[in-house]
Amino acid sequence: MREIKIALVGQPNVGKSHLINSISGATLHVGNFSGVTVEKKEVEFERGGFKLKLIDLPGTYSLHPYTPEEKVTKDFLINEEYDLILNVVDSNQLQKNLVFSWQVADLNKPMVIAFNMYDEYSRQGGEIGTNKFFKLTNIRAENVSAKENFGLEELFEKVIKTYEEKNTPRIYYSEIVEEEIENVKEKIKECRLDKRFISIRLLEDDEDIYKRIHEKPWYVELVSQLKSSKERIRIEYDEEDVKEIFFEERLALSKGIISQVAKKARRETLSEKIDKVLIHPILGLPIFLFVMWAIFQATFSLGAIPMDYISAAFSEFGNWVGGLLPNGVVRQAVVEGVIPAVGAVIMFLPNILILFLGINLLEQTGYMARAAYVMDGVLKRFGLQGRAFIPLVSGFGCSVPAYMAARTLKNPKDRLITMLVIGFMSCGARLPIYVLLVSAFFAPEIQGNVMFAIYIGGALTGLVVAKILRIVLFKGEPEPFVMELPKYRFPKLKALLFDLWVKTKMYIQKAGTFIALASLAVWFLSSFPRADIVKEYSVKIEQIKSSKFKVPSAEKKIAKLKEEMNRKILENSYIAHIGKLMEPITKPLDLGWREDVSLLAGLAAKETVVSTMAVLYGVGNSDETSKGLIKIIRKTMPFTAAVAMIIIVMFYSPCVAAMSTFYAEVPKWAWRIFYTIYPNVFAYFAAFITVSLIKLFS
């Protein structure tokens, strides 16, 4: 007969001993745990063809032990061999008891929960939906009463079923905490314990786990990541004690689960009163859309104010650097290539920071969790799991962490569908391209609305594509969704400023290194070969200089010849040949070779689209007024080309870094190839249809 070894755990006074005494036909063995005087109870009995062996562990409030009894429980759960955890919970103290349950669930062992004292709870009008609880947590549960001896047989049937199916809990914390758990987890190599459990315990400063791994060869690399992860969590939550942060996370998770599975009369809190409006089944979605519209309006209107100053500053900086360098190719490369291109990218930094500030405010006040709840009903209609909202919203910041955030979706189908549509959420790097084109081709009073339409249009298109993928390639229903609804709170200024500083630093570093090098490469490809052309025009210029033209007239002719020479160099350059190879494909979209090359450069990093356009349109040689690139493209690009470019940027493949992350997360080559091809085909046809409609009705 097969034996199931069960660790019986719970907080003090939840009725574990009473439950053991209520099991009929059981044999009780009493002794001590090895090396300590703490009493050890073992119960053996038979059910369903199995021999069940229960080890009754001392009651404990936490896996951060303060008493010998609590240490015994922790040591057993971590060090001993057993098949399953049976967690006994007091139905009348659900919130407090479940905080401990989530700690135990972190072990990632098969687990069953017994909601004990259910007779008392139900008499008060209470009710616990165990089926819903299982759907939300992947933990089977049963309402029992050891005192009145009901529900026990059903409980052990679920124990056997969980043992046979090897079900493990599916519990997740907030996005930031989950992200840092994953970051630490990646540094952990071979270890007997579950890597996620180790990551959480290390973040909570568990000395026992430190002792376990501190001799491992990979420990040094882990320490650096651990320090960084703790610091980020502390700053985000404005709390030095990471254990306290995890306690609040588990408490919030308990409240969220209880609100969905338990029914009990209680007083209404302020948060619940506010939630009656913000997550109202009818008003909730319009309120959320209005909030997002207001953020995009602020992004555009407030972000436009410093653009002139930044542009003028870079123009002055270019003149100053030009005065220091001798005439020649190096001076041209720096003054006409790198500085204007980097300046064109930095000019949009205020827009990006305002957008991130708005999203951070939503997260810190607790509204983002409500938005996830509101969007859950919408997402289900499009075949997405409610938890997909987190990686999708992350996609508005950057696709790389968004793909990593999709790890919280344990169902492979739900996870893959979500990852395939994250690219439709416009990341922060695309914002400068939108601002450039919208500023050039739309009236100031509607620019904010156009920007909002771009972002919402991309998101809605992604949802439609997700529905198509669900129907065609991933048949089946998405998993149920649960997320804690934290109390509303005022945002922490320190956390807001820290987050904005990190994003500013990363953006400037990118502009100062990668984009500068990319701009230099684009300038080189757009400026060579040039020897024959320069030689030809140098002769003409020398002829004018040696002629008898009056000085003003000669200067005008020379300036005109130089302009003509630069245009001819660009038209015959290496990059022009690349762009002209693409022209037959993009001609129906009214795109020129400059736009083609810029979009191609955007596959490396979306920020380089603007910097490449700045180089190819010769912003370095344009007048020194602000927003030079906007003025030039307004004159040279057709409106239809601008619309086509916006749509392509909305939908085509993300940057190389994001694509690499997708490949790392999805090992199957079939999906990698599909992911590489389908967004670009979709983007082309979406742009073609839109341009055709504009031409038809204009």
Quick one: pLDDT band at residue 401, thresholds 50, 70, 90? Answer: low
**Higher pLDDT, residue 684 or 319:** 684
- For residues 91 and 128, the answer to whether their CB atoms sit within 8 Å is yes
- pLDDT (0 to 100) of residue 681: 94
- For residues 611 and 342, the answer to whether their CB atoms sit within 8 Å is yes
Quick one: pLDDT band at residue 682, thresholds 50, 70, 90? Answer: very high
**Higher pLDDT, residue 31 or 578:** 578
- pLDDT per residue over 144-177, tens digit each? 988 788 889 999 999 999 999 998 998 889 888 9
Strand order in the sheet with 2-9: 27-32, 39-47, 50-56, 2-9, 84-90, 111-116, 140-143
- pLDDT (0 to 100) of residue 253: 92
Task: Give CA separation, 660 vs 11, 115, 416, 600, 602, in Å.
Answer: 46, 46, 15, 17, 15
CA 243 to CA 134: how far, in whole Å?
27
Q: Are residues 482 and 599 in the same domain?
A: yes
Q: Are residues 79 and 137 in the same domain?
A: yes
Contact residues for 595 (Cβ-Cβ < 8 A; gap 6+): 586, 613, 637, 641, 645
Query: For residue 305, how many other CB atoms are within 10 A of its CB?
Result: 9
- pLDDT per residue over 294-342, tens digit each? 877 777 678 777 876 887 787 788 788 878 888 777 777 777 667 766 7
Residue 356 lies in a domain: yes
CA 507 to CA 476: how far, in whole Å?
41
- pLDDT (0 to 100) of residue 5: 93
Domain boundary among 112, 143, 165: 165
Query: For residue 465, how many other CB atoms are within 10 A of its CB?
Result: 20
507 pLDDT above the threshold of 70: no
348 pLDDT above the threshold of 80: no
Q: Are residues 385 and 448 in the same domain?
A: yes
Residue 563 lies in a domain: no
- pLDDT (0 to 100) of residue 407: 67
Q: Are residues 142 and 161 in the same domain?
A: yes
- For residues 447 and 642, the answer to whether their CB atoms sit within 8 Å is no
Domain boundary among 218, 239, 266: 266
**Higher pLDDT, residue 670 or 474:** 670
Q: Are residues 234 and 322 in the same domain?
A: no
Q: How many domains does the chain have?
A: 3
32 pLDDT above the threshold of 60: no
> How far is residue 301 CA from its own chain's centroid?
26
Percent of the chain with pLDDT over 70: 86
CATH code where residue 219 lies: 1.10.287
Secondary structure class of 588 (helix, strand, coil): helix
Cβ-based burial of 630 (10 A; exposed 0-12, middle 13-18, buried ≥19): buried
Q: Which of 67-71, 87-91, 370-374 ranks highest by mean pLDDT?
A: 87-91
Residue 537 lies in a domain: no
- pLDDT (0 to 100) of residue 642: 93
Quick one: pLDDT band at residue 420, thresholds 50, 70, 90? Answer: very high
- pLDDT (0 to 100) of residue 95: 87
> Which among 463, 260, 473 has a CA at the least distance from the CA of 378?
463
Q: Which of 137-141, 221-225, 366-370, 380-384 has the lowest mean pLDDT?
A: 366-370
Percent of the chain with pLDDT over 90: 22
Residue 412 lies in a domain: yes
- pLDDT (0 to 100) of residue 627: 64
**Higher pLDDT, residue 140 or 525:** 140
Residue 547 lies in a domain: no
pTM to 2 decimals? 0.54
- Rg of the chain's alpha carbons, rounded to an integer? 31
Backbone angles phi, psi at 238, to 5 degrees: 50, 50
Q: Are residues 406 and 428 in the same domain?
A: yes
Contact residues for 550 (Cβ-Cβ < 8 A; gap 6+): none
Boundaries of domain holding 217: 175-266
Residue 432 lies in a domain: yes
Q: Are residues 579 and 649 in the same domain?
A: yes
Residue 61 lies in a domain: yes
- pLDDT (0 to 100) of residue 275: 83
Domain boundary among 216, 250, 266: 266
* Average pLDDT value for the chain: 81
Q: Are residues 135 and 181 in the same domain?
A: no
Q: Are residues 23 and 38 in the same domain?
A: yes
Q: Are residues 235 and 152 in the same domain?
A: no
Q: Which of 202-206, 536-540, 694-698 has the lowest mean pLDDT?
A: 536-540
CA 269 to CA 259: how far, in whole Å?
13
Residue type, 192: R
**Higher pLDDT, residue 368 or 688:** 688
Q: Are residues 57 and 82 in the same domain?
A: yes
CATH code where residue 124 lies: 3.40.50.300
483 pLDDT above the threshold of 50: yes
12 pLDDT above the threshold of 60: yes
623 pLDDT above the threshold of 50: no
- pLDDT (0 to 100) of residue 481: 57
- pLDDT (0 to 100) of residue 487: 64
- pLDDT (0 to 100) of residue 201: 93
Q: Are residues 256 and 292 in the same domain?
A: no
- pLDDT (0 to 100) of residue 37: 46
Please give the span between the terminal C-alpha atoms of the chain, in angstroms, as a whole number: 80
Residue 676 lies in a domain: yes
